[in-house]
Homo-oligomer: A and B are copies of this chain.
Amino acid sequence: MTTNTKQQLLDNAERLFAERGFYGVSIAAIADAEGVTKQALLHHFGSKEKLYGEVLGRISDRFDALAHQSVSMDADPLDRLKHYLMNIQRSRTAQPNQTALLIRELLDNKQRIDSAGTWYLRPFLNGLTDMVMAVPGWENASREQALALVYQLLGAINYFSISGATLKAIVGAKAYAEMSKAFPAQLEQLITSGLASPPSKQRT
């Protein structure tokens, strides 16, 4: 396979960018991790920016695939949304680097995003919001309210992920393992709670 090196460079870049951030990693370090020279990397990607872009593109594609996979699994809107969110949770567990990188992108893009106006996670968020608004009881909620719920749920998922190492250091490996094991069930409960109480036009 000719493009083997390129893929492995992308793997290394994803890991290192996730661990240390865009500015914290030099292209030489990424190339070293693969055992090639810095210029071999530049040959494949042209520049550090473009390499970073390709890393983000791969992640975006993975999310898209996950979305398409989940969309035709359940007919019931509520079950479908739950299934999708739990899929995201599973993917997060399997690929912690990608979650960390997305959070970093959220943080770093604060200034750029205003001028860019577009972002690759937009379809992902739109899809999730649509699924929330398809749930019985949420038809009359505003789009903003649905999106707010989406953010709360994603926040719970992602925050647990990025805090993993810290959490483990604080509570100990054993307790952390227990938390990780219990997390999916708790998340499911959180999803159920959140969806069970649509905003406005309804009182607790």
Contact = CB atoms under 8 A, between A and B. Distances in A.
Nearest to A142: B178
A53 B43 CA distance: 39
Contact of A163 (B106, B156, B160): B106
Interface in A167-201: 167-171, 175, 178-179, 182-183, 185-187, 189-190, 192-194, 196-197, 199
Contacts of A163: 106, 151
A192 B197 CA distance: 11
A90 interface: no
A147 B23 contact: no
The complex is assembled from copies of this chain, and their number is: 2
Contacts of A108: 20-21, 24
B110 A170 contact: no
Nearest to A26: B23
Contacts of A156: 151-153, 155-156, 159
Contacts of A187: 152
B183 A148 contact: yes
Nearest to A163: B106
Q: Report whether over half of chain A's contact residues are helix, strand or loop; otherwise say mixed.
A: helix
B167 A114 contact: no
A87 to B, nearest CB: 18
A153 B77 CA distance: 25
Contacts of A22: 24
B144 A178 contact: yes
Contact of A186 (B100, B125, B148, B179): B148
A3 interface: no
A107 interface: yes
Contacts of A19: 110-111
18 contacts: A21-B21, A21-B108, A100-B107, A110-B164, A114-B165, A116-B169, A117-B169, A119-B166, A121-B170, A125-B170, A144-B178, A144-B182, A147-B167, A148-B160, A151-B159, A152-B160, A154-B159, A156-B159
